Structure 1
Amino acid sequence: MSLTSVKMAEEVWLACLTHALSTETEEIMGLLLGDVQYTENGKATALIWGALPQPRSDRQKDRVETNPEQLTAASAEAEISFFQFSLTHE
């Protein structure tokens, strides 16, 4: 099923914008944290509540790579954030 809309917290949008503008012409990457909410009529909305910008580990123009340790740490932080978010929004 495809998404019909995306809702993103303002601080997430600002974090993504700041990350993009601070790297100027380089490509960027990061993780967006959120969930998908389904309605009774079959529509799906992505609810984005967090962002984890990732620094580049390789400075070649034609690729964007991140350090595996940083990606693992970001993944662990995402899991912790998900459980904290779930508990506060029950």
Structure 2
Amino acid sequence: MVKTTKYGKDGVKKGVWTAEEDRLLISYVNKHGHPNWRQLPKLAGLARCGKSCRLRWLNYLQPNIKRGNFTKEEDDIILKLHEELGNKI
């Protein structure tokens, strides 16, 4: 069962991103950058709000995002800093 796409009162698309929307966002940001997230959806041809585009880019599409488990070195750093600093910073 697939969720249906919903549009808000202002015509902004809500819900799951499609591969085509991802492609449009990636293409626009790679070509023009992201100087103004509020105007980006209109310029890129997306029916989304600027906040949705910004979050999609930062959390899922940005090329330098590392996914997966921590390395042994990263685990050691986390444990060492937790011993030194505790739960509060």
Please tell me the TM-score bracket, short chain as reference.
Answer: under 0.3
Question: Which structure has greater helix proportion?
Answer: 2
TM-score by length of 1: 0.25
TM-score by length of 2: 0.25
Question: Which structure has greater strand proportion?
Answer: 1
